[in-house]
Amino acid sequence: MNSSNAPIGIFDSGIGGLTVLHAVQALLPHENFIYLGDTARLPYGTKSKDTVCQYAFRVTEFLSTQHIKLLVVACNTATAAALPELKAKYPQIPIIGVIEAGARAGAEKTQTKSVAILATEGTVRGMAYQNALELLDKNIKVTALPSPLFVTLAEVGWTSGKLVEDIIKEYLKPIISSIETEKIDTIILGCTHFPVLKKSIENVLGKDIHLVDSAELIAEEVSSVLEDAKLKNLNTSQGHVSYFVTDSPERFVAIGKIFTNRTLDENDVTLIDI
């Protein structure tokens, strides 16, 4: 069993998983973290399931050498493609994905039993959210829209303003028309990049649409798993985060503040080859 002061591992294909890290840190400020952004191989969302599984295994193998006590797969595409395989290969590490929490929240929020999912191509193609929602409630109708452009907007820092909202409005035309015809009242932001666009999406769709961001729910799940396993860090000092990336640490630092609302320290970011 891992010791309570061991770090929590979090990985994503790039920078979007920092939204999950930010939420978990807010709830568990005394924990230590290792965040790995596989920036050399992003985006995962356009890759095949087998390729994403290979990437996820490489990342998890590295994090396991850092003696993590828990792993959060803070990437919807990797969760959809590889979560069962990761759990089978690393039974000694509690592993949490981001899809089940989002699906649960979507099922709880919807009053019309009509939910839309905005996600990467890989997540939509893998049917993970659709299957998770069906298990929760067979009466929920699901509309899924691949939204890879949103990843690009988030990673270049285009998150607000009229131009961004115009792009969102054009991009979401299929969803906007379905809101009326299918009575969609809940939209799951099925990519960890998308929360930084949440305000702009709300401005386009209106406040009557529930936007589900699973980051806070993931934080609660992490806390619960650590509590049950008696692995919570009992230190009262502020925890530390070490960042690893597989390409371009400078870009990671420059863009990372968009996702964390804080300036990252370049000295805490290490370039690795895995």
Task: Compute the distance between CA of residue 203 and CA of residue 205 in angstroms, rounded to an integer.
Answer: 6
Burial string for 220-246 (b: 16+ CB within 10 Å, else e) reads ebbeebbeeeebbbeeeeebebebbbb
In order along its 274 residues, the chain shows pLDDT tens digits of 458 899 999 999 988 899 999 999 999 999 999 999 999 998 888 899 999 999 999 999 999 999 999 999 999 889 989 999 999 999 999 999 999 999 999 999 999 999 999 998 888 988 989 999 999 999 999 999 999 899 889 878 889 999 999 999 999 999 998 888 889 999 999 988 899 999 999 999 998 999 998 888 899 999 999 999 999 998 889 999 999 999 999 989 988 887 877 788 888 899 999 9
Q: What is the pLDDT of residues 35-89, one digit of tens each?
A: 999 999 988 888 999 999 999 999 999 999 999 999 999 998 899 899 999 999 9
pLDDT of amino acid 154:
87
Q: Which residues are catalytic?
A: 75, 191
Rounded to whole angstroms, the Cα distance separating 198 from 248 reads 26
* Cβ proximity of 103 and 134 under 8 Å: no
Closest C-alpha to 24, from 38, 39, 43, 11: 11
186, 210 contact by CB (below 8 A): yes
Domains of the chain (ranges; CATH) run 8-97+216-271 (3.40.50.1860), 99-213 (3.40.50.1860)
Q: What does the DSSP 8-state code read for residue 247? A: S
Task: Give the SS3 label for residue 200.
Answer: helix
Task: Say how far apart CA 193 and CA 191 lie, in whole Å.
Answer: 5
SS3 content of the chain, % helix, strand, coil (to 5): 50, 15, 35
